Amino acid sequence: MNASDLRQMLAYVAESMAREEAYLTSLDSAIGDGDHGITMRLGFQAIREKVQGLPESAGLDAILREAGLAFMGATGGAIGVLLGKMLIAAGATLKGKQEIGATEFQALLAAMETALVAAGKAQPGDKTLLDAVHAANQALAAESAQDLRTALKVASEGARRGAESTAQMTARLGRSSRLGDRALGNPDPGATSFYIILRSITEFVERQASAPD
């Protein structure tokens, strides 16, 4: 995936977030304040607009850095800061790189988890975004993915399992922590969003690979 592909991919994810807005809002309405779907749509809409306006010479690192800043600027609450810092951290790992392959993806995903832990102070099992990110990293670390398509599939499946597992967790951080056991049965919206992001990236890369030359 080169810089041009990355711009298109972020636009594709933005379209996915717009389609999933109602679903994410329903998840957040059960255990939060009900605005997560709107926040994710607005954040990725801002990313799409920002990266489309960058110079053609912008590299992978600059695109992700600006994407993170755009997300933070367009959204409020914890998710704005957390996902924004994750994107900026991902971009930092790509400085000087011309393409994202399996190795680069694994490095940026690990950097995203490190940034998330530093910013959010959560731990796996706290019923947060981290549960999906951590599960994706664990799944990828357990495989020897030789190409980006395989790495994405593995990480996406890990994120799915991680997001689903949050339904059986009691929240320890955030608004949902006030609900105690009443939050059981409801997956965390942030973790679900991260799975949707990875699923969308995987779909984008698959479509590119199958497109006629």
**Portion of the chain with pLDDT greater than 70, in percent:** 92
Task: Quote the pTM value.
Answer: 0.92
pLDDT of the residue at 201 = 98
* Whether residue 177 has pLDDT greater than 70: no
* Whether residue 137 has pLDDT greater than 90: yes
* Whether residue 179 has pLDDT greater than 50: no
* Cα 104 to the center of its chain, rounded Å: 16
d(CA 114, CA 101): 20
pLDDT of the residue at 186 = 85
Domains of the chain: 3-210 (1.25.40.340)
Spatial contact of 48 and 18, defined as CB atoms under 8 Å apart: no
Instruction: Convert the pLDDT of each residue in 41-70 to its tens digit.
Output: 999 999 999 999 999 999 999 999 999 999
Band (31; pLDDT cuts 50, 70, 90): low
pLDDT of the residue at 180 = 47
d(CA 128, CA 22): 20
